[in-house]
Each structure stands twice: as C-alpha cells, then as structure tokens.
Structure 1
Amino acid sequence: MEFSAARGRAAALTPHQRGLAAILGAAVLWSTGGLFIKWVSLDAPGVTMWRSLFAALTIAVLVRPRLEMPWRTPRLTWGIAVAYALTLVMFVAATKLTTAANAIFLQYTAPVYLLFAGPIFLKEPTTRLDLATVAVAFAGMGLFFVGRLEGDALAGNALALASGVTLAAMFLLLRAPGCSAETRPAGMLLGNLLLVAALAIVNAARAEPGLFAPSLRDLAGLVFLGVVQIGLAYLLFGYGMATVGALEASLIGLLEPVLNPVWVLLFLGERPGRWAVLGGAVIIGAVAVRTVLAERRRPAAVLHPANAP
C-alpha cells in the first residue's frame, strides 16, 4: 500500500520535479563521502581507484551503457568523461595540498561560472532570483567555513579552483544539445574507467602496497563509496540533468558540503561549529526558497528537451 502510494505521488510530479528530486538524491548520496572516506584507511589515490572501479561496475551492471572503441566514441562522451575524471582527481589532490574546507569551498565556485556560461552555451537564462540565490548561498558557505580557510597552500587552492571549473564544464556538457539518456551514463562509465586505469599505474608504481591494498573492513567502505556514493549518485544525477538546468542543479549540489558533517556527527560524533550550523542553514534556506519560487513561476505546461528521459 505504501509503495503504491509513493508511486502515485511520483507519477503526479512533472518531469522537472522528478529531475529536481533526482539531483537532490544525488547530493544526499554524495554527502556520505566524508564519513566513509574517514572509515577507510587507504590514502587518496587508493580510495579513488577502488571507488571508481566499483562505480564503473555499478553503472555497467545497472545501465549497461554502450561504449565504442576510443576512436569512435563521440566527442561529447569524451568531454563528459574527461571533465568528470579531472574533477575527481583535482579535488582529491587539492585535499592533500590544502585544507578540506578550502577544497570544498573553492570547488563549489561552479555556480558562479554557470551564471555566465549557462546563458552563453546553453541559452539557459540567468534570473535575478538566480543571482540572489548564488550570493546568499556563498555568504552561507563563507559562514560554514569561517576560521578554517587558509591562503598559504597556493597549489592546493589552485587545484581546488580548477576542479570548480571542470565541475561547471561537466554540468554544461550534461545539458548540451545531443546529450541523451544514453550519453550521460556512458560518459560517467568512461570517466571512471579512465581513473581506474591511470590510478592503477600510479598505485602499482608505489613502493608501499599497503597504501592501496584494502583490508576486509576497508573493502566494505570502498564498496559503499563506489556503488552508492558515486555509482548510484551519478546515475541519479545524470537522470536529473535531462530536465534540470545546469545552474539550478549546481545550486542543489551545494547541499553536499552542508550534509557531509551531518553524517559524521551522527555516526562518528564529530560536532560542527556554530558558524558551520548557521552557514548550512543559510544555504539550505536559499536553495529551498529559490526552488519553491522558481516552481511557482514555472508555466503549467513546459516543453522539455527531446533528450529527456
């Protein structure tokens, strides 16, 4: 009965609303990364390699996207894969060279780039509501990391900032004309395979196998990270991007760094500071208000792109 009722409510949603729900679900799943990365004893290259391997297997099994030979793979699929892989690699490298707060804050500059890139490349107009939401959300992000941002790790900060650019590029490519329901998972599968191949070489060349050889306890965390936190999350994300604008999706993605410490608090007992709680409330409020107002202004019948699911 409850399942039937849930299906009925889902069927009553518009395609855009289902897309919003999918992007929100992806952000919630992404936010579990901090907890399970703390759980696993491997270092960043080891975690990233295994996580991407399990994510690739998840996407391959659940969706079975068709991959062509490299020279026959469409440029759009390659673009999504490279943007995805660079985003993950640079973010992991940034967290090694600067503080986690710096890395997260600078990566989530992506909505700023999309304010200008969306209208140019996707013809998705930026409204005053969008501008206000980005401004308020970034004020909230500043509160979230008050007292924790440092400016002396130039290389790490530069990588984190670059990962924000590639993240914005991935949003743009996932909304590009011709990006279909088949292209999105294919690009993400290819991106994960690129990471596995590159990091397998890096890890094999290292003198300490213990840095990337998981124990049984580590394996449980890595399976969750690959299957749920990356694999299922990006499938939801790709589905939602068919009907949700790039900027709107990136704003919902801001909930990831807000929810990340919530899981750590619930399961590891690490309490965020008061400024972090206030900043998180500001971000959630800004995104929620923007979503509600935008939905009220949306016409009752909206023509969705032909590549929507």
Structure 2
Amino acid sequence: MSPRQKAIAEAIIASILWSTGGLLIKLVDWNPVAISGARSFFASLALLLYIKKPKFTKSKTQTIGTIAYAISLISFVVATKWTTSANAILLQFTSPIFVAIIGATVLKEKVYWFDITSIIVVFLGMGLFFIDGMGGGSTAGNLVAILAGFTVAISTLSFKLEKDGSAIEITLFGNILVFLISIPFMLQSMPDLRSIIILVIMGVFQLGVPYIFYVNSMKELSALEAILITVIEPLLNPVWAFIFIQENPGIYAVIGGIIVICAIVFRNIVSMKKFYSSHE
C-alpha cells in the first residue's frame, strides 16, 4: 500500500478498535473506576513500549491535558456503566462543540456562523437523551457522558497547544494518572478471570494500540479525513452492544445521536472548506 492508503487503513482500524469500548466495559463485572484503572494500566504499558522515552515537559498545557484526559477516561467508563453504550459514546462525541465554545470564550478565537448553528443543533440533540428514560439509560450517566465530552475537548485543545511534547505522551501520562487514582477502588475487590482477560484486551487493543495507529495516520491524512473516518466509532459502538448484549437505545437517543453526528460532521466539513479556501 501507498503511505496514504496505509494511513487511511490505520485510522479505520483505530476507530473500529475504539468502538468496542462500550461492549467490553459492559462485559466486565467490576467497579467502573477500577475498570478504568486496569484498562489504563495495560494501555500505559502498550504506549510506553511504543514511545520508549517519554518526555515530561511540566508545561501548563501538558499538565492540564493529562488531567483532562484522565478525567475523560474515567468519565466514559462510569457513563457506560450508568447509561447505555449509545448514550455514553454519542454524548462524548459532542466534544468538538465544547472545543468551539472554549476556543471562543477562553482562547478568544473567532466564532463563525457554522459554529453557532452546530452548537445550537447539538444541544437540541443532547436534550433528546434526557427524554423518556432513554432506553435504560440514566440521567446521572448521561451527565457524566457530557462531562467526558467536555474533558475530551480540553485535552484536545491541550494536544494542539502543547509545543514541547506530543499528544501521545499526554495520553500516556493520562493513563498512568488514571491507574494511580483507581488503586483504592481496585483493592476493594478482584474481578473474575474472564473480566481480567477482557481488561487486558481493552487496555492494549481498545485503548493503547488504536492511539498508536491514529497518531501515525495523522502524518498522511488531512484533518477532515481524520474527522470523517473517526465517526466510525460512535456509529459502531452501540451496534456491538446491540448485537452481543441486546442493549437497545431509546428512540429519542437514536434521533438525538443522528442529530449530534450530523451537526459535528457538518461543522467540520464547512470549517475545513473555509480553512482550505483561505489558504489557497
């Protein structure tokens, strides 16, 4: 394959592996914070083998990014346990909207019409997740999923702003931090053998390896291509849960999810077109 074809394949593989998170988390019978810690422990080993000599710059952006990424990892697992897989991943997928809001309010970046339009539409879509019990989901789980989306946005901005390090190192330190935070929860009880095997698979193949694939793919892909490919994750995540554990998201959650995905994709397509046209 050409370098570009290889990059597309890597991004697709990363998205598919990420999409298994909801199902695998549901299959582990353990405290959600403990699950997050064990998953991050094995992910840290995979990332450390790849990075070999990580650089801790102690910069503000690396520190904030590490903390935000750690919170997002824990929040996503907790949300997946407390609500449906569909709700957890689709509400976390709102992170680009939070990036736009933070960019406008904190970083004083210019706000365009497509930012405002997509923000309004996404929040309308999010509202549908809180109607009629959401197919077995809970309000608390939905709120934690939104927190995950918000902290993903902060860590994403940190990836962009970090000058002395790299995004993949922030993910390594974030996973290590999650493991350290979760130790008291992990010591309360032990999972069964099946759960331990799933946790190893989650840490290595659902979290660690996909980030390596994704970071490598970014060398050849445009930002728009990467965005469109990674939509595979929120689309497949509830599909695996439906097929293997018969988890049915509510009809309003499905409608809300479609609205959120369409709004995010629309915003990024228009944003990238504007970027390319201004640089021609």
| C-alpha contact (below 8 Å) 1:94/1:159 kept by paired residues | yes
Asked whether the 8 Å contact 2:129–2:142 carries over to 1, the reply is: no
Amino acid paired to 2:259: V
Read off the aligned partner of 2:209 and give its amino acid letter.
L
Q: Give the greater-gyration-radius structure (CA).
A: 1
What are the equivalent positions in structure 2 for 1:49-198 lying under 5 Å apart?
49-68=37-56, 73-93=58-78, 99-100=83-84, 107=92, 110-119=95-104, 124-143=109-128, 146-148=131-133, 162-178=147-163, 180=165, 183-198=166-181
Structure 2: gaps of 5 or more residues:
none
Shift of 1:260: 2.1
Q: Which amino acid aligns with 1:130?
A: D
* Matched letter for residue 184 of structure 1: A
Q: Does 1:37 align with 2:25?
A: yes
Partner SS state of residue 270, structure 1:
coil
Corresponding letter in the other structure for 2:32? A
Task: Give the structure 2 partner of residue 307 of structure 1.
Answer: none
State the one-letter code of the partner of 1:220: I
Deviations 1:141-190 (A, max 9, x none): 4445642259x967x7765554444332212211115154xx22222111
Identity %: 33
Letter in 2 for 1:78: T
Q: Is the 8 A contact 1:111 1:134 kept in 2?
A: no
Q: Residue 199 of structure 1 aligns with which residue?
A: 182
Structure-1-length-normalised TM-score = 0.68
**What whole-Å deviation, never above 9, does each CA across 1:262-296 have from its counterpart, x for those lacking one?**
11123334344443443333333334444444444
The partner residue of 2:236 within 256, 259, 280 is 259
The CA deviation at 1:28 is: 4.5
Q: Deviations over 1:118-154 (max 9, x none)?
A: 145556533212322333334334445642259x967
TM-score, length-scaled by structure 2: 0.74
Distance 1:295 1:113 in 2: 17
How many matched pairs?
A: 274
Give unpaired runs (5+ residues) of structure 1: 304-309
Q: Which amino acid aligns with 2:183?
A: A
Instruction: Map 1:218-233; keep pairs closer than 5 Å.
Output: 218-233=195-210
Q: Secondary structure at the match of 1:55?
A: helix
Label 1:126 to 1:238 Cα distance change in 2 as closer, same or farther (>3 A). Answer: farther
Please state whether the residue corresponding to 2:133 is helix, strand or coil. Answer: coil
Distance 1:83 1:288, change over 3 A: closer
CA contact (8 A) 1:55 1:226 kept: yes
